[in-house]
Amino acid sequence: MNTSPEISAFYEEEFRDTIATVDANGKRIWLHPKKPKGSFHNKRIIATVIFLVIFITTPFIKIKGQPLLMINIFERKFVIFGQPFFPQDFVLFGIGMITFFVFIILFTVVYGRFWCGWACPQTVFLEMIFRKIEYWIEGDARQQHKLDSGQWTSEKIRKKTLKHFIYIVFSLIIAHFTMAYIIGIEETINIVAVSPAEHWSGFVGIIVFTALFYFVFTRLREQVCIAICPYGRLQGVLMGRNTMAIMYDFIRGEPKGKLTRNPEKTDNQAKQGDCIDCALCVQVCPTGIDIRNGTQLECVNCTACIDACDEVMIKIDKPKGLIKYASQESIENRVPFKMSVRAYAYSVVLVLLVAVEAFLLINRSMVETTIMRVPGQMYQEQPNGIISNLYNVQFINKTSEAIVLTLKVADNKGIIRIQGGKINVPMQGRADAVFFLDIPKNQIVNIKTLLKIEVYNGTTLVETVKTNFLGPAE
């Protein structure tokens, strides 16, 4: 971020050369953050409950027989808001993805890593479930540190066994729901109901996900946010002086200094800011950083430091908000938080993309028909003066019910002969067929005639497809 020379004096940029969780020898420093508590944490508990309700119920919700959300990457089957998307919908899907990324960019430009602290599954599961289990079994930071650095006593074995047993159970639960988002809830229940021998791939999938979640939430932990998550890496380019983030109000807090009870203050103590250098904000931080150094990539906006500092401010009878949600601009210039020009520009792009996506969605055909003349075939001349062309046709039914389709040449310019006269297309499935198209020779003017073929579901016209008809020149 750009800062004026006076203000940059407050930031000691050397801290950016090291990571709080890695020592000088490159070894991981295991963090024992202090248990968070306070009004922001209480709000995060409510947000967690909402998140969990959505996470658990979504796979069970159906819209016209379709899941609300299913991302089946193995079979390339995607259902979003009950709408199935097929490989043929790649334009729609592509614009949808671009819209989603622009939304993420816009959101991050304005609100920074708000998502990370309040709704990211990694933070929610780690901070609000796995770490809470740890606090419950092993106690607060100090007791955890003592337990980890102590001998293996029967109490330590009991606590560690219990904790890891519960961790495995929670990892199993999360793995099952993750599978439900990929292959659907029915298929997941099916895997659970039968023996592993009858559903090897599903069983292996659940074991792999369980092991992955267990590893992420017991060992990797904050390293996911600091070193692995691509969204975290984007922060450096997306955040600006007007981005909202969790900030230390250094104008108010500096120069920091220990609290003194002596009424006779020295000159330095008289000039002291509101920060009493108690380091509680650092002790509660799950990524081990000191937010007083300025905005940092490692900060996941968990709000624990706000609560810790507010508690200190109440105790020393100072206003709350020494650490708060604010932008760098608003802290440096004491102005209210406002959106930047860049944020307005992204908003315009986002509105346009949403409009295009909505138009394409509304006009999306639920039946996709592809008609092509059989390769290598010219035309056939029947003895009764009829010219015939042979075609391959493929139908894709994107609806959630089976349909019966018929074909007709627009304006009665020809007759279609198809075996059985009708084509049955299963729900969300595909059907292939071959048909002849007949036109009397005396109606053919050119070697190549452009025709429109209408596709009917009962009496409803669902699609019109253009194709060519070959015939003899006049």
Residue numbers at the binding site for ligand SF4 (CB under 6 A): 246, 248, 253, 275-281, 284-287, 289, 291-292, 299-305, 308-309, 312, 322-323
Sign, CA torsion 359/360/364/370: positive
Q: Which lies closer to ligand SF4 via its Cβ, residue 259 or residue 434?
A: 259
- Residue 287: Cβ-neighbour burial (10 angstroms; 0-12, 13-18, 19+): buried
Q: Which lies closer to ligand SF4 via its Cβ, residue 278 or residue 366?
A: 278
- Residue 348: Cβ-neighbour burial (10 angstroms; 0-12, 13-18, 19+): exposed
Q: Greatest CA span in the chain, whole angstroms?
A: 119
Q: Which two tokens stand for residue 116?
A: 């990370």
Q: Which lies closer to ligand SF4 via its Cβ, residue 131 or residue 292?
A: 292
Strands (E) in 17-169, as ranges, are 62-63, 66-67, 69-72, 77-80, 83-85
Strands (E) in 18-174, as ranges, are 62-63, 66-67, 69-72, 77-80, 83-85
Shortest spacing between CB 186 and ligand SF4, in angstroms: 40
Q: Report the SS3 class of residue 15.
A: helix
Q: Which lies closer to ligand SF4 via its Cβ, residue 59 or residue 294?
A: 294
Shortest spacing between CB 280 and ligand SF4, in angstroms: 4
Shortest spacing between CB 171 and ligand SF4, in angstroms: 24
Shortest spacing between CB 260 and ligand SF4, in angstroms: 14
Between the CA atoms of 412, 458, 90 and 373, what dihedral angle is there, to the nearest 10 degrees?
-40
Q: Which lies closer to ligand SF4 via its Cβ, residue 253 or residue 471?
A: 253
Q: Which lies closer to ligand SF4 via its Cβ, residue 246 or residue 425?
A: 246
Q: Which two tokens stand for residue 462?
A: 């669902």
Between the two ends of the chain, the Cα-to-Cα distance in Å is: 75
Q: How far is CA 204 from the centre of its chain?
A: 24
Shortest spacing between CB 228 and ligand SF4, in angstroms: 16
Beta strand pairing call for 430-440 and 415-418:
antiparallel
Shortest spacing between CB 147 and ligand SF4, in angstroms: 23
Q: Which lies closer to ligand SF4 via its Cβ, residue 202 or residue 286?
A: 286
Shortest spacing between CB 32 and ligand SF4, in angstroms: 14
Q: Which lies closer to ligand SF4 via its Cβ, residue 295 or residue 449?
A: 295
- Residue 474: Cβ-neighbour burial (10 angstroms; 0-12, 13-18, 19+): exposed
CA–CA gap between residue 343 and residue 339 (Å, rounded): 6
Shortest spacing between CB 346 and ligand SF4, in angstroms: 24
Q: Which lies closer to ligand SF4 via its Cβ, residue 92 or residue 239?
A: 239
